[in-house]
Structure 1
Amino acid sequence: MSKQQALTEKLSQKFLPHFIHIENESHRHRADRGGESHFKVVLVSDQFNELSRVARHKLVYQCVAQELADGLHALALHTFTLAEWRARDRQIPQSTNCLGGGH
C-alpha cells in the first residue's frame, strides 16, 4: 500500500471526513523527486468544530505519528469545519514549489 493510500485510509477512519484530499507533493521538492515524503492534506471534519487550527493539526499529527516515524517528511495541513469549507466554496488550497534547501 502506498503512503498516500495509507494516509487516506487512516485519516478517513479517524476523522470521518465530509471531504478528504491527499496529494503527493514530493515532486515539488528537490530531495525527493518521485518519492512519497511530502503530502498536502485537505480534511473537512466535524471533529474540528470548536478547535483552533493548532489543536486540529495536533490531532492529525497524532493520527499519523507512525508514518512520520517511518520517513514521512512533511504534511501541508488544511483542516476545516464543514462551515469553513462551504464558506471557501470548497476550494482546495493551491501549493507552491519548495524554495528550501533540499527538502
Structure 2
Amino acid sequence: MSVRNRIEATLKDAFQPERLIVIDESHQHAGHQPDITGTGETHMRVRIVADTFAGMSRLARHRAVTDLLKPELDAGLHALAIEPAAPGEPTRW
C-alpha cells in the first residue's frame, strides 16, 4: 500500500471525515535536499474536514493529525502540510 493510501486510511478510521484529500506533492520538492529526488512519497498535503476538529485550536488540530501519522513520519515521510477544518468552517480549497 502506498504512503498516500495508508495516510488516507488512517485518517478515515480515526476521524470519519466528511471530506478528505491527501495530495502527494513530492515532485514539487525535488532537489531540496540531496536525497529528495521527487520520485518518492516524501511530501504530503492533507485537507480534512471532520467533526472532531470542532472547538479545537489550530495547533490542537495539527497535533491530532501529526500524532496519528507519526509512524509515517518516522518511516521517512519528510513533510506533512495539514489543512484541518470543522464542518461549516471556510476552507481555501
Confirm or deny that 1:50 pairs with 2:55.
Answer: yes
Q: 2:45 aligns with which of 40, 47, 51?
A: 40
Specify which of 65, 81, 90 is matched with residue 76 of structure 1. Answer: 81
TM (normalized to structure 1)? 0.81
Q: May I ask how many residue pairs the two structures share in their alignment?
A: 88
Identity score, percent: 35
TM-score scaled by length of structure 2: 0.90
* CA RMSD between the two structures: 1.0
Give 1:64's aligned residue.
69
- Structure 1 unaligned segments of length 5 or more: list them: 93-103
Partner of 2:10 in structure 1?
Answer: 10
Q: Encode CA deviations 1:37-74: one digit per residue, 9 max, x unaligned.
A: 10010010000000011000000011111111100111
Unaligned runs of 5+ in 2: 31-35
User: What is the identity, as a one-letter code, of the residue corresponding to 1:56?
Assistant: R
Counterpart for residue 100 of structure 1: none
- The CA deviation string for residues 73-92 of structure 1, in whole angstroms up to 9 with x for no partner, is 111100001111xx34xx52
